Each structure stands twice: as C-alpha cells, then as structure tokens.
C-alpha cells in the first residue's frame, strides 16, 4: 500500500473574464431574492482562506446598488467553521422529511428575510422547515473575505483542480478562487461548476500552520527501534486536511523522503492502514482508494462507492485529474475495466461529472417528468430499465432527488427505497440506496454503514477505519453520526468501537471519534 510518489500540480489556464462575468449578471448586488438562494457568509476558519480581498470589489456592482441598511460586513456572531457540500444537506422541499444538518448553519448575504420565514425560501411550494442550513448558491456577492467551502466532504471553490491564481481578483468577488465554466443542467438553466471540497486542491497547504513542531514530534516518535504509536496518533488526528498537506511538504523538505514511507516502515497492520489514510488527505486518499478497490481480482464495491458516489462535479474532476497524474491512465478506463453491464453504465455516468449543480433549484415540471420516467423504467414495464433508473439518481442534484423520492411515494404509494430493493440486487442496489439514503439523512446512512462493518462474526477493520476517517474530514460529521448511532441502536458508538477493536488501532479510532 505504499504511496511514495509526489503529484505534480495539474496544468490548466485560469478561466477568462467572460466566464467570470455571468455571476455578476445573474444576481443583484446584495439583494435577497426569495425564489433564488443567496450566497452564504464566509469565510470558514482561517486555514481555508486563500487570499482575502482588501475592501469592496473594484468597479460598480452589476445591477442596482444595495438597499439602504443592507449589511456591510458579516453580522456579529456569524458562525465559524466549514460546511461540506458532500455532507451539507440540500435545501428542503415541501415534501418529505427534513434532512440531517451537518455542522452549524451559516448566515446569508443580503437583507433579512420576512418575519417568520427561514433564511432561504424555496422555489418549490411552501417554505422549508425552520432551522435547516441554506444551500450554497451562486448569487449575491459574498462579504469581505472569500469563502473556501469545504465537498468535499465536504467544498473549496476552484476551477479544474488547478493551483489558485496569484494576486487579487479583478472582477466581482467569487465564492472561492475563480468562477468555473458553466455547463448545461438537465433540470434547469446552466449553472457554474460548484466549489471544490477542502483538501481536494492538489498540494494546497494551510499558511497559518507551522509544521516544524509536529515534524519533530514524528521524528522523535519513530527514532530507534521502538515507535511511539500514541504520539503518532495524537499528531495525525488533530490536523485538518490542509495541515496534513503542510506536514507532508515540510517533512519531505527536511528529511528528503515522503512521510508515508516512514509510516510504512514504523507501523503495521490496521494502524498502518489508518495512519496512511490520514496522511494522504482527502484527494490523495480517494485517488488511492479507487485504485485499491480495482487493482486485484474482484472489486471492493463498498470502497468504490465510498470514494466516488455523491461527489460534486468539481471534486470528481479533481480525483480524475490526480488519478491520471499518479497512475498514468484514466480513472474511467480503470473502473470500467473492472465492471460490466449495468454497473459499468452506472459508474460511467458517475465519473462523467455531469450531475446537475446544487446551485440549480428544483424545477417542479422536471420533478414530475422524472417521477413518470422512474415509473416507466420500473413498475410501468416488464423488467427494469436499469440505465434509466441510474441516470435519474446520478444526474440530478440532491434537492431534486429528494423531491423525486417524495413525489414518487405520494403518486405511486411505494417508497423509493422499497422500489430500488424490488427492482435491483447486489452492488447496484447498494449504490442506489447509498445515494437515496444520503440525500435523506447522511448521518443515519453513515451510522448504519459503520454498524454494518462491526455486525456479525468478525469486524471489517479496514472499511470501518476508512468510513470513520472520511467522516472525520467533514466538519460536524462525526458528532452527527454519533448522535444518529445512539438514536438508531440505543448505545454509544465509541463503546461499540472499543468492543470490536483493540490496541493501537482501537486508540486511533477512538481518538477520531472523540476529537
């Protein structure tokens, strides 16, 4: 499992001014619009800022000037931290159950909403339940300081995984580094490519973190014949994805070899697997995981789902770019060579990175058409049109999938999960349920999958570690999973993990859960 190669940063030109212009033309300056979600307050914690703008944007705003009394900066008490698109739930519709919130909701830019309404009004029907976080959208300009939103799990705004541009932006401020090229959405008008997750920009570090002290702790812990595993665990678990990359770069600058090689030399077994996963960080880990799931006889489907399902278009493109740079072949060819039939068709769609962006609101007419298409592909015919069903759940964004699921049950009186179980089996059933359950409640879904690794005879240690580590990278995910687990099974997840593991591996997983 050694992974010693350093990745060259992907090459690609920055977007042109024309590509950035659309953003300013689509929204009025600072004006809340009750059919279109607004830009969230940024920035997240300091380590995720690439360069804060100095003062207001240059030049006149696009559209009318902000109304009198519009806020000039973040309100007092604006929440800190990151929301991950992959774990941040989509805006709620009038149908169905409210979804699990990951982390704290963020304030929106613009005048406050009317009395008695939540901060974000939906395009579809009645307003959503109060207390759920607004969806990240391209809209009104952000306050001073750019937000790097963590889809990663979840996202930082980048274009195509290229290094961020130098110097301040010359146009209106964007939600991150650069406006991405627009693409056509099958559920509505074209929308900008969404932001990257934290840790999905190759070689990006945390400029506020000095890795010198932690490098010395690691070298001391690994000096001689005995290894201080406790010191290694404490050091790796505390670091964010960008700090991990800073640590890797500092170590190789000081020692002239990769930190991964030290972990491989000084640790063994499940502890080695867990520490190397943490050391890789999100982008490199998911690249490694796709290769690991497909590089031997038999596909590790559950790991392939963990690596690729539910990813934003931006994150998927980043994974594909890094995979090609590391292994010298495309990820698409690697995965398709390992699969066949409808599974191959499904993952071909997943890797195409053409799902509807979350910035596109729910279109009622599109939902109605997709509900009918889902019926015609399943209960309305003999046999199952598997490729069409996969398209519905892969190409639509989370909010639209939630709307389709609720409307289908209302129209045809069968839950979508039951429909999937009836029409599919094996890995494709598991993959489609993974998507649908994640749209409804990610914390509950992940709690069930984590329990599944420990249920029955023997524990799937590797999968258990990978599920906890990937959740650990998403702000707010671990506490939400622990709460969901307690509610589902009436017992504490930490105690459950202690019962199923031992030694240094137990200490690693418990440290992740108790961070």
DSSP, residue by residue, 314-326: HHHHHHHHHHHHH
Q: H-type helices in 352-441, by residue range?
A: 364-377, 386-395, 398-412, 416-423, 426-440
Pick from 291, 394, 282: which is nearest to 333 by CA? 291
CATH 1.10.220.10 positions along the chain are 212-327, 355-440, 441-515
At 130, phi and psi to the nearest 5?
-70, 150
What 3-state DSSP class applies to 382? coil
The token pair that represents 441 in the structure block? 């409640």
Dihedral-angle region of residue 189 (phi above 0 means left; psi in -120 to 50 means alpha; beta otherwise): beta
**In tens digits, what is the pLDDT along the chain, a chain of 515 residues?**
545 444 444 444 544 444 444 434 433 333 333 334 444 444 444 443 343 444 444 444 444 444 444 444 444 433 333 334 444 444 444 444 444 444 444 444 444 444 443 333 334 434 433 333 333 333 333 333 323 333 333 333 333 333 333 333 333 333 322 333 333 333 333 567 788 999 999 999 999 999 999 999 999 999 988 999 999 999 999 999 999 999 999 999 999 999 999 999 999 999 999 999 999 999 999 999 999 999 988 899 999 999 999 999 999 999 999 999 999 999 999 999 999 999 999 999 999 999 999 999 999 999 999 999 999 999 999 999 999 999 999 999 999 999 999 999 999 999 999 999 999 999 999 999 999 999 999 999 999 999 999 998 889 999 999 999 999 999 999 999 999 999 999 999 999 999 999 999 999 999 999 98
Pick from 123, 111, 101: which is nearest to 474 by CA? 101
What 3-state DSSP class applies to 40? strand
Cα 377 from chain centre? 29
Q: Which fold has domain 212-327?
A: Annexin V; domain 1 (1.10.220)
Distances (CA, A) of 124 to 26, 37, 93: 20, 12, 7
CATH architecture of 355-440: Orthogonal Bundle (1.10)
- pTM above 0.85? no
Domain 441-515: homologous superfamily in CATH: Annexin (1.10.220.10)
């Amino acid at each position: 499992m050694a992974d010693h190669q350093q990745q060259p940063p992907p090459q690609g030109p920055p977007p042109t001014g024309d590509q950035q212009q659309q953003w300013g033309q689509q929204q009025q300056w600072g004006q809340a619009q009750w059919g279109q979600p607004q830009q969230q307050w940024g920035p997240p914690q300091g380590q995720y800022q690439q360069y804060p703008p100095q003062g207001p944007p240059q030049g006149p705003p696009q559209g009318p000037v902000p109304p009198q009394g519009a806020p000039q900066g973040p309100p007092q008490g604006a929440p800190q931290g990151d929301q991950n698109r992959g774990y941040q739930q989509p805006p709620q519709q009038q149908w169905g159950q409210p979804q699990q919130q990951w982390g704290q909701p963020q304030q929106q830019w613009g005048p406050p909403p009317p009395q008695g309404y939540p901060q974000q009004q939906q395009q579809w029907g009645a307003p959503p339940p109060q207390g759920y976080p607004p969806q990240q959208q391209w809209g009104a300009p952000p306050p001073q300081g750019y937000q790097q939103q963590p889809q990663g799990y979840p996202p930082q705004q980048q274009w195509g995984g290229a290094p961020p541009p130098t110097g301040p932006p010359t146009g209106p401020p964007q939600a991150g580094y650069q406006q991405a090229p627009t693409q056509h959405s099958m559920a509505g008008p074209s929308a900008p490519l969404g932001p990257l997750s934290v840790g999905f920009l190759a070689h990006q570090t945390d400029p506020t973190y000095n890795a010198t002290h932690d490098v010395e702790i690691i070298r001391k812990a690994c000096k001689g014949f005995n290894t201080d595993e406790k010191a290694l665990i404490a050091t790796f678990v505390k670091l964010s994805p960008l700090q991990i990359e800073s640590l890797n770069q500092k170590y190789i600058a000081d020692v002239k070899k990769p930190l991964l090689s030290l972990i491989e030399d000084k640790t063994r077994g499940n502890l080695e697997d867990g520490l190397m996963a943490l050391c890789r960080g999100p982008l490199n880990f998911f690249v490694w995981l796709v290769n690991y799931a497909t590089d031997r006889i038999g596909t590790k489907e559950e790991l392939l789902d963990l690596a690729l399902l539910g990813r934003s278009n931006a994150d998927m493109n980043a994974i594909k770019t890094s995979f090609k740079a590391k292994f010298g072949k495309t990820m698409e060819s690697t995965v398709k060579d390992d699969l066949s039939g409808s599974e191959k068709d499904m993952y071909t769609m997943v890797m195409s990175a053409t799902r509807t962006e979350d910035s596109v609101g729910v279109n009622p007419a599109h939902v109605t058409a997709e509900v009918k298409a889902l019926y015609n592909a399943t209960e309305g015919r003999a046999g199952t049109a598997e490729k069409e069903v996969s398209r519905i759940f892969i190409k639509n964004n989370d909010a639209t999938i939630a709307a389709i699921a609720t409307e289908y049950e209302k129209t045809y009186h069968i839950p979508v999960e039951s429909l999937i179980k009836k029409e599919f089996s094996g890995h494709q059933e598991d993959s489609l349920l993974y998507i649908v359950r994640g749209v409804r409640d990610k914390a509950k879904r992940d709690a069930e999958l984590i329990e599944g690794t420990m249920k029955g005879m023997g524990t799937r240690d590797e999968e258990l570690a990978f599920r906890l580590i990937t959740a650990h990278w998403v702000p707010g995910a671990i506490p939400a999973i622990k709460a969901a687990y307690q509610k589902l099974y009436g017992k504490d997840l930490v105690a459950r993990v202690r019962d199923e593991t031992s030694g240094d591996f137990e200490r690693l997983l418990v440290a992740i859960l108790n961070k």
